[in-house]
Amino acid sequence: MKLDRFWIVQIMIALVLFALLIGSYLLSSGMLSASGDDPPPAPLETGAETKDSMLATAACVPVGTALSPSAIEASLGSDDPARREACLTFLQAESAAGDLGADLWLGRAYHNGWGVSKNVEEAAAHYRKAASAGDTATRESAGQWLSQLERGQ
C-alpha cells in the first residue's frame, strides 16, 4: 500500500491533535507543573468583625444556602431576631441600590409584620415602587399583593 502525501499530512494532523489533547489534560491535572510541590496559597488576612461590617455583608439566607423566595420568606418570618434583622438590612440595601424585587419583599415584610411592625401604608409604598419594575414577574406580583392589600386581606 502506497502512502501518498495527502495521507501523511492527515496522519500528522491527527498526531498533533492527539498530543495537544494529552498535553492539555496533563496541564489541567497539574502533572506538568513547574515544580511538584506548589506552596499553599497565603491565608487571607481577617480583621476583627464588627457589627457594622456584619451589617454591610448582611444576607437573607444562612451561609451555604441558595437565595430563593422560600429562603427569603423563611428568614423574614424566622423566630431568630438576628436573622430577620440581617435579612431586612440586606433588602433595604438592595432597595436603595435600585433592586425593585427587594422592594417587593420589603412590602411583604411590612404587610405581614415580618421583623417590623405591620404598616399598611409602608407596604403599599413598596408595592407601588416594585410595580414599576421592568421585570414582568416582579411587576405582576407587586400588583397582586397591592390589590390584596387594598382589599384588606
Residue 50 lies in a domain: no
What span, in angstroms and rounded, lies between the C-alpha atoms of 140 and 122?
19
Q: Which pLDDT belongs to residue 14?
A: 96
Q: What is the pLDDT of residues 81-130, one digit of tens each?
A: 888 888 899 899 989 998 888 899 999 999 888 888 889 999 999 988 88
Residue 6 lies in a domain: no
Residue 36 lies in a domain: no
Residue 117 lies in a domain: yes
Residue 29 lies in a domain: no
Res. 51: pLDDT tops 80: no
Task: Give the count of domains, the chain.
Answer: 1
What is the percent of the chain where pLDDT is above 90? Answer: 18
Nearest to 106 by CA among 91, 119, 84, 86: 91
Residue 112 lies in a domain: yes
| CA quadruple 67, 69, 73, 78: dihedral sign | negative
Q: What residues make up the domain containing 146? A: 55-150
Residue 10 lies in a domain: no
Q: What is the pLDDT of residues 61-90, one digit of tens each?
A: 777 777 788 888 888 888 888 888 888 998
Count CA atoms within 13 Å of residue 59 on its CB side.
Answer: 10
Model confidence band, residue 13 (pLDDT cutoffs 50, 70, 90)? very high
Nearest to 73 by CA among 50, 26, 106: 106
Model confidence band, residue 26 (pLDDT cutoffs 50, 70, 90)? confident
Greater model confidence, 7 or 60: 7
Residue 5 lies in a domain: no
